Structure 1
Amino acid sequence: MKRRLAILIPVYLVTYSVCYYVAFLLRFDFSLSERYVSMYAGTLPVVLLLKLSTNIATSEWRRRFRYTSIRDVFNLFVGSSAAAVLLFCANVALFSEARIPRSVILIDWTLAMLAIGVLRMLVRVYREQVRILLRGHDGCKRTLIFRSDKNSIGILRTLQATSSDFQVVAFVDPVLRGASAVVSGVPVYAEEEGWARLAKKLRAHHVLIPSSVPGKVVRALVSECSKANLKTHIIPTVPELADGRYKVSVRDVTISDLLRREPAELDRRAIRQYVSNKRVLVTGGAGSIGSELCRQLIRLQPAELVLVDQSEFGVFTMQQELSSQYPDASLCFAVADVTDRSAMARIFESHTPQLVFHAAAYKHVPLMEDNPLAAVHNNVLGTKVVVDLSGETGVERFVFISTDKAVRPSNVMGSTKLVAEKYVQAGSRTWDTQYMCVRFGNVLNSAGSVVPTFRKQIELGGPISVTHPEMERFFMTIPEAVQLVLQAGAIGSSGDVLILEMGEPVKILDLAKDLISLSGLHYPDDIDIVFSGIRPGEKLQEELFYHCEEGTKKVHDKIFCASRKAPRLVDVHRNVNRVLESNTDDDVKQILTETVSAFVDADRATPRIRRAA
């Protein structure tokens, strides 16, 4: 800063002195008498002092020239006007015998403002245009920017301000029709002209896509650009981007970008209200959903956050992450098994949580088919322990993380989650705690899920193994799922089953092809796909609603609420005990089948909720 001031102050002093002298020349038709030359010399120190003072007051020298914006020009106008007003006052108070002509003050105000404004713009033009021309186009990446809205224009300004290797040659807008336009000196072309034609015409090799573009659009865009030999990149859009004050990070398109949806409008006030200054406990806190829950909860400033997980390494990893990022937060990390009632009771007694998010569960369908006793023990008994302790210790709100596989389940994992759902609902008829279930489909990039598995197979050279060409699943990114879980916890009532709107299902085959393409490879030339057949317990398509839940109303833009009559705890308790008392894999599968069949049959007998308008 000192070095900048050492340069700026002399430059400003010279500029102001010249402008003040030229104001006299213009006023007197370039013929100055000795009287006015003497007046100029005698009043110049006061003029410079007033102008330097207003510069300090308006932080003129703290505003970077290379990022000059409309706000900076307005600040210059305010400072110059203030200096002119002060000079008028000083003219009356200090120069009674030889007052400066008022027209000179007005001319000087105009000249000084124009001179400093032009100086600022020249620095920016040099940084953004001249330097690029001087160094030539060698090494520059000729680039198209998708859309021409404020986010895209912000990207352009950032790239220009940071002297990036990406040389923007055009915007490509899907809305524009007919004749092209020009924005910030860059032409805008209609997407209907075709990406291949535009790439050839403009000699472009890259496309920058704002991160606000929905995944469905990104997917189509990546496909079209790939055919035109254009490499696609994602650029995050943040509020600071439009000012050009922060260097944007350009990254390759990921599978999450292809499946991203329009951001949900969250009631952040309601979420913060039920989390802030509360003691919060998260089971399965080291897992994919649980860990993200902890990350988002800690930002809401709970009184205490208790993370519980049976994985010592997982808990250690989260401890290192959260403790370093939030050193002042009240955090507790407990290595414990949710099926161990005595251990969980000690945790509840020590921390008396007010909110509980139960995310601990075994989730891998084929693995649980081979280990049904373990699935029942963890998913059913673990839920029972946490539900019971929450009710007995007066927890205010309990949120259970469920799955679409609990809808008419065809496998052990889904069956255990359905039984757990029923037990949570039954708790709402027994204790004052507000119990609710949040049901949603698959999340991207969770541990052991399909995307990391496909990536590993690609790294090994393939082939990618897909169970069936028609296999479909609902997908959502982990951060979005957790945001909606928190929102559901804020708006749900006791006994509710809240179902997240998952969008359109995605074919696993398409997902595999997308991952191959994003890896810079081609199917089937570089990586092949083989079909291994449906595994035990799997469905071709998953469901989110039971018959009686179809047509249920939305309580949020992306959340449905299935308000169903909760079963009695004594009835569910009887079924749960039968399941837990099973001693062999065959027995537990048989009893699970009978129990789940009873629940599903009861659902069929329940009248459908009238479809919301």
Structure 2
Amino acid sequence: MPNRLAIILPVYLLLYSLSYALAFAVRFDFDVPREFVTVAWTTLPFVLAIKFGFCLLFREWKGTYRYVTVTDLAALGAVALCSALGILLIDGLILSGVQIPRAVVCADLALSLLAVGVLRTSYRAYIELVRPRVIKRKKQRALIYGVQPASLAILRMLQATQPIENKYRMKGFIDPGLETQKSWIGGLPVFPAATDWKQLRRETKARHLLIPGGTPGRIVRDLLHQCAQNGIRAHVIPMVDDMIHGRFTLGVRDVTVNDLLRREPNQLDLGAIQDYITGRRVIVTGGAGSIGSELCRQIWEFGPESLIVFDQSEFGVFTLEREFASQYGPQTGVRFIVADVNDEATLDRLFGEERPQVVFHAAAYKHVPLMEDNPQSAIVNNIFGTKTVAAAADRWNVERFVLISTDKAVRPSSVMGATKLLAERFVQALARNSETRFMIVRFGNVLNSLGSVVPTFRKQIESGGPITVTHPDMKRFFMTIPEAVQLVIQAGAIGPSGHVMILDMGEPVRIVDLAKDLILLSGLRCPDDIEIVFSGIRPGEKLEEELFYPAEAGARPIHDKIFCGAAPENVTMLRMLKELNDLEQAIAGPSTRARAALVRLAEGHADRTSLDQEVVRAA
């Protein structure tokens, strides 16, 4: 507020003067003898000077009145107490011949503290209680889910927001832990979760539900459907951690598909991660992709000595470079390289210049139906690209190499899955006689990745539908990109060389259910507004994916959400080099020959592999 002190100083002068005068009146039962009236007038300038001096010392006038807290009131008490001691000191040492009654000093301490405390709290009460009613603006009634600290923080945040900016009027909480009896918190009723939603809406007239950002996805999905059935709109308040890391800004936002699939936060071994990333030189291939770019973001938060973003997409690298410049400012520790993972000369030069200690290999072609029509490209990029980067890591004595794999590599039915299986096997063969610690991390689909099902569904909804789903029973494992990357980085810290780390993906989700959720999130209904049509299974697709081979079924847990599969016994470098040589000759010919060679090699590495599309279609 401009000229703030011009308002505060006269108010404090008046309050301190009145409290000092009232202290004399209280001491003498409101009949002050003439000589003590003279004492009051004589000592008032000294008393005011002392109080103002301690206000300056404790920075009393710099505190905001709108957000007054218990800490501010404690500071007021310190000002009042020190002022009283100061008055007693000058009364005894400086004001010779003048005696201020000790009872007056004590009464003045209490009265001045009360006066200024009431001033501060009155302003906050006006802002939070009176002003919203004065502003002629219709509020939207809302409920808050839960009574945990995050839920109470929502209430405090909205109370602290300017009334003209806060469009919600809180009508109560919904407590999942409360069964029958209604209670109260902060002057608001707390309703049991079992309360009938129609009754709840009639009683509170609420049209909005605010959900803390950390609420598990299964609960958010249930709340979303309950709200949709009862004419209530669900929103999410981002958590503090999300705002700190820039994923969301402070405020109320609509529920997203990420909220529906959110699980309990990962418990990361930050010490182990820092040991191999902080102060180290790191390369991320495919660094401009969905997984690669999030890897770069999270790795940078751990403070590596240098980070090299390596990708063949010029536009993707440019986009991430602009993001880093905007988020972190000019950085000397990040390099952005546009090159192909099969460019051995460029990789060799880069490894020689940078001497990386950690490599995350995320570069891959991943679109299943598209790779069915382009088997040579999939083989070159996914298999030989992995071979080139892994061999460079071995040659330059990189400490750790982490390959990003996929559940489609388990008994693959597609070209893409078969190429990732052979990439896994080459890395495992290389690990047998290398000082580099080679690890593989396998997981399912990630939400909102480029070309994935969620962005496709969104575009279909925006165009008015219909949404096309391949099969009503098709299921997939889903995980948010940030969670998947967190676990990839964690696996790199604790995984043994040559083994496959399999992420706990939770329960598979039916694609048709995901489509219905997205329709609901768009404020529409299925099938009234948007229809779902079934187009049939596409080449290379399965009805359900798997995460484990039978030999990995008893994989031991090495983390709450990471399993370690056994390394295959029959994979040797001699065998892999012979197979890759055969494959290299095959891709020089027609695509049918390349695909046949890939099928034969994949079947030799999987205990039950079906790349026959007719079998898949029949399923």
Are 1:470 and 2:476 counterparts? no
Structure 1 runs not aligned, ≥5 long? 604-613
Shift of 1:2: 5.7
In structure 2, the partner of 1:577 is 581
Matching residue within 418, 430, 434 for 2:437: 434
Partner SS state of residue 257, structure 1: helix
Shift of 1:602: 10
Shift of 1:26: 1.4
Look up the equivalent residue of 1:149 and give its one-letter code: Q
Alignment of 1:118-517 (within 5 A): 118-136=118-136, 138-162=137-161, 163=163, 164-238=166-240, 248-326=250-328, 327-517=330-520
In structure 1, the partner of 2:617 is none
Which digits, 9 at most, give the CA deviation of each residue in 1:145-182, with x for residues without a partner? 11122211211122122121111111111112222222
Matching residue within 537, 544, 547 for 2:540: 537
In structure 2, distance between residues paired with 1:378 and 1:361: 6
Q: Give the direction of change, closer, same or farther, for the CA distance of 1:340–1:115 in structure 2 (3 Å limit).
A: same
In structure 2, distance between residues paired with 1:214 and 1:393: 44
Shift of 1:591: 2.3
Residues 238 and 249, structure 2, Cα contact 8 Å, conserved in 1: no
Number of aligned residue pairs? 598
Residues 442 and 501, structure 2, Cα contact 8 Å, conserved in 1: yes
Residues 439 and 498, structure 1, Cα contact 8 Å, conserved in 2: yes
In structure 2, the partner of 1:606 is none
Q: Which deviates more from structure 2 when the two are superposed, residues 540-549 or residues 441-450?
A: 540-549
Q: Give the fraction of aligned pairs with identical amino acids, expressed as a percent.
A: 50
Which digits, 9 at most, give the CA deviation of each residue in 1:362-411, with x for residues without a partner? 00111111111110000000000000001111111111111111111111
Alignment of 1:512-531 (within 5 A): 512-531=515-534
Q: Which deviates more from structure 2 when the two are superposed, residues 489-498 or residues 356-365?
A: 489-498
Partner SS state of residue 115, structure 2: helix
In structure 2, distance between residues paired with 1:189 and 1:602: 54
Residues 207 and 233, structure 2, Cα contact 8 Å, conserved in 1: yes
Partner SS state of residue 403, structure 2: strand
CA root-mean-square deviation: 2.0
Q: Give the direction of change, closer, same or farther, for the CA distance of 1:91–1:440 in structure 2 (3 Å limit).
A: farther
Partner SS state of residue 578, structure 2: helix
Q: Which deviates more from structure 2 when the two are superposed, residues 408-417 or residues 422-431?
A: 422-431
Residues 411 and 608, structure 2, Cα contact 8 Å, conserved in 1: no
Q: Which deviates more from structure 2 when the two are superposed, residues 9-18 or residues 313-322?
A: 9-18
In structure 1, distance between residues paired with 2:114 and 2:294: 53
Look up the equivalent residue of 1:591 and give its one-letter code: A
In structure 1, distance between residues paired with 2:374 and 2:47: 86
Shift of 1:414: 0.8
Residues 439 and 499, structure 1, Cα contact 8 Å, conserved in 2: yes
Q: Give the direction of change, closer, same or farther, for the CA distance of 1:93–1:575 in structure 2 (3 Å limit).
A: farther
Which digits, 9 at most, give the CA deviation of each residue in 1:286-315, with x for residues without a partner? 100111111112222211111111111111
Q: Which deviates more from structure 2 when the two are superposed, residues 85-94 or residues 102-111?
A: 85-94
In structure 1, distance between residues paired with 2:449 and 2:259: 16
In structure 2, the partner of 1:48 is 48
Which digits, 9 at most, give the CA deviation of each residue in 1:448-490, with x for residues without a partner? 0000000111111111000111111111111111111111112
Q: Give the direction of change, closer, same or farther, for the CA distance of 1:552–1:86 in structure 2 (3 Å limit).
A: farther
Q: Give the direction of change, closer, same or farther, for the CA distance of 1:247–1:388 in structure 2 (3 Å limit).
A: closer
Partner SS state of residue 77, structure 2: helix
Residues 196 and 225, structure 1, Cα contact 8 Å, conserved in 2: no
Matching residue within 547, 553, 556 for 2:556: 553
In structure 1, distance between residues paired with 2:276 and 2:9: 53
In structure 2, the partner of 1:586 is 592
Look up the equivalent residue of 1:142 and give its one-letter code: R
Look up the equivalent residue of 1:113 and give its one-letter code: L
Look up the equivalent residue of 1:156 and give its one-letter code: L
Look up the equivalent residue of 1:328 and give its one-letter code: Q
In structure 1, distance between residues paired with 2:582 and 2:74: 75
Residues 146 and 171, structure 1, Cα contact 8 Å, conserved in 2: yes
Residues 286 and 311, structure 1, Cα contact 8 Å, conserved in 2: yes
Partner SS state of residue 398, structure 2: coil
In structure 2, the partner of 1:607 is none
In structure 1, distance between residues paired with 2:44 and 2:562: 69
Structure 2 runs not aligned, ≥5 long? 610-619
Look up the equivalent residue of 2:186 and give its one-letter code: S
Which digits, 9 at most, give the CA deviation of each residue in 1:74-130, with x for residues without a partner? 332333333333334344333454333332222222222222222111111111111
In structure 2, distance between residues paired with 1:197 and 1:492: 53
Q: Give the direction of change, closer, same or farther, for the CA distance of 1:287–1:387 in structure 2 (3 Å limit).
A: same
Partner SS state of residue 167, structure 1: strand
Look up the equivalent residue of 1:3 and give its one-letter code: N
Q: Which deviates more from structure 2 when the two are superposed, residues 563-572 or residues 116-125?
A: 563-572
In structure 1, the partner of 2:615 is none
Residues 158 and 248, structure 1, Cα contact 8 Å, conserved in 2: no
In structure 1, the partner of 2:27 is 27
Partner SS state of residue 333, structure 1: strand
Q: Give the direction of change, closer, same or farther, for the CA distance of 1:410–1:565 in structure 2 (3 Å limit).
A: closer
TM-score, length basis structure 1 = 0.93
In structure 2, the partner of 1:77 is 77
Residues 419 and 576, structure 1, Cα contact 8 Å, conserved in 2: no
Alignment of 1:62-101 (within 5 A): 62-95=62-95, 97-101=97-101
In structure 2, the partner of 1:609 is none
In structure 1, distance between residues paired with 2:549 and 2:242: 45
Partner SS state of residue 352, structure 2: helix
Shift of 1:272: 2.4
In structure 2, the partner of 1:610 is none
In structure 1, distance between residues paired with 2:95 and 2:179: 63
In structure 1, distance between residues paired with 2:398 and 2:242: 41
In structure 2, distance between residues paired with 1:77 and 1:480: 47
Residues 158 and 247, structure 1, Cα contact 8 Å, conserved in 2: no
In structure 1, distance between residues paired with 2:93 and 2:365: 84
Residues 211 and 234, structure 1, Cα contact 8 Å, conserved in 2: yes
Residues 283 and 310, structure 2, Cα contact 8 Å, conserved in 1: yes
Are 1:598 and 2:601 counterparts? no
In structure 1, distance between residues paired with 2:106 and 2:429: 80
TM-score, length basis structure 2 = 0.93
Q: Which deviates more from structure 2 when the two are superposed, residues 161-170 or residues 246-255?
A: 246-255
